[in-house]
Structure 1
């Protein structure tokens, strides 16, 4: 009887994990502050949902999955600018039938000269003999405008917290907890975000306008004052309520205005996210990388 029960659990786990493994690549480009070699600091936040991995029994009431992630950044001519292989070992479970298995995430910061690249991420389920590999590619263009500009907007799962730490998850004096894939699940009431303003005119207060919208025309707006910092990027952190916005994709626009009456558009950027209120908001477990 115990054997049949164990077999049933194994079959249920296999049925739940019949699809290929998944990998999410969230990329944010920030300017390298080194004035000698112009370029960008690229943050790659990699998330592997462990729901899509096969769990193997390692001991009585002990199941574990394993995945290998390969990250490549290719130059325009196809040559390699960056290559790394990372092995992920999610926590051991005593029951693979549980509904929520927290995804594994890690973040890499890579300095690159300006130019055009291709980011490629591959995840391989180590316990599958067939159908256990998935590859995702994204174009990556690095360039720094001469005038005022806003870096990529990072969507966060919780407010940016003041931090004096110096690790991969700290930037601009804040500790950032990213929303994997820009997705906000059940219980999420706000969109939190972080970005940086460069080359802003110093000595005058600016106005920041936030605009949150969805394809059906639903929208929310807010304004805030901003005082540019001299000699370094000016951080922009905030939040917008999701409120009655429907499920599905949304776009967050961040615009900075200056000049007489703060009516002249100086810089703007956008980020695209997803609201999925019927899904549980899983917590990403940062891997030690």
Structure 2
């Protein structure tokens, strides 16, 4: 469990900054850690979900009633000594618009999966507006700590804009047989009635049913709870998917706890993890961002 407990303080600061950025920053980074199934090398499979708000980009007229924007996104993972562990440049060209007064310009998203050994890293994303000569570049950084756990544990919890659905796809948006549509910045906006989530349970006793307890809470004490029974599989991660109603929860931050109980009567805590999100019923958020072609 130390893999996740050491990360708790960083996760809290991440969530706070992401919520603040979701409505203003042209780039949002969501980082989730999953177990590297290659048992020879310790480390993790890191998913970096990058969302670019096209609202903040400059649109140029290319033809009568044809306007387009363009952005260059540089994604980097830096080691503790500042040396690069990963670097890639992605060019985004959102769809052509016939009218730049259109209020909703769909954000663009892409996802990268990277295998990294244990250690401390910094994830850095830089977006540059190709059609703006000055003040057209924004950089966001997130700390990342990887330390392989030695006991039963849950991977990071991924908050989703839509329910996880069964899929036979093999692209980056599919995981363990599910299609995942992330909620950028962990923000749920106007019209959202439920939160959806996905995580993976590792190293639980195979074939023995465990109880999964979900607890959703806000700073004012509002809460929602649910339980489910799962039977872990042998030799592979057990997918944990679910949803909870937002219901009367107030606007602002919320915390989702996922706990796994086993043993006699399923009363012994085997693993637990949490994620912090935000609800904003008055604003729109880039939920379900379009995937660039």
TM-score of the superposed pair, with normalisation by structure 2: 0.89
Please give the alpha-carbon distance, in whole angstroms, between the structure 1 residues aligned to 2:232 and 2:117.
26
CA gap of 1:261–1:21, structure 2 versus 1, over 3 A, is: closer
Higher Cα radius of gyration:
1
Residue in 2 that maps onto 1:127: 131
Please give the alpha-carbon distance, in whole angstroms, between the structure 2 residues aligned to 1:160 and 1:20.
28
Of 66, 75, 100 in structure 2, the residue corresponding to residue 71 of structure 1 is 75
Residue in 2 that maps onto 1:28: 32
What's the CA shift for 1:89? 0.3
Of 50, 54, 75 in structure 2, the residue corresponding to residue 46 of structure 1 is 50
RMSD over equivalenced CA pairs, Å? 1.4
Please give the alpha-carbon distance, in whole angstroms, between the structure 2 residues aligned to 1:125 and 1:21.
13
What's the CA shift for 1:21? 5.8
What's the CA shift for 1:203? 3.0
SS of residue paired to 2:51:
strand
SS of residue paired to 1:231:
coil
CA gap of 1:21–1:198, structure 2 versus 1, over 3 A, is: closer
Matches within 5 A, 1:70-219: 70-219=74-223
> Is 1:23–1:47's contact at 8 Å kept on the other side of the alignment?
yes
Please give the alpha-carbon distance, in whole angstroms, between the structure 1 residues aligned to 2:64 and 2:252.
41
What's the CA shift for 1:280? 3.1
What's the CA shift for 1:58? 1.1
Please give the alpha-carbon distance, in whole angstroms, between the structure 1 residues aligned to 2:35 and 2:202.
9
> Is 1:57–1:63's contact at 8 Å kept on the other side of the alignment?
yes
Q: Size of the alignment, in residue pairs?
A: 270
> Is 1:20–1:133's contact at 8 Å kept on the other side of the alignment?
no
Please give the alpha-carbon distance, in whole angstroms, between the structure 2 residues aligned to 1:91 and 1:28.
28
Please give the alpha-carbon distance, in whole angstroms, between the structure 1 residues aligned to 2:267 and 2:24.
50
What's the CA shift for 1:110? 0.7
> Is 1:188–1:281's contact at 8 Å kept on the other side of the alignment?
no
Please give the alpha-carbon distance, in whole angstroms, between the structure 1 residues aligned to 2:291 and 2:250.
30
SS of residue paired to 1:280:
coil
Gaps of 5+ in 2: 1-22
Residue in 2 that maps onto 1:232: 236
| Residues 111-167 of structure 1, C-alpha deviations (whole Å, 9 max, x = no match) | 111111110000111111111111110111112210000000011111101011111
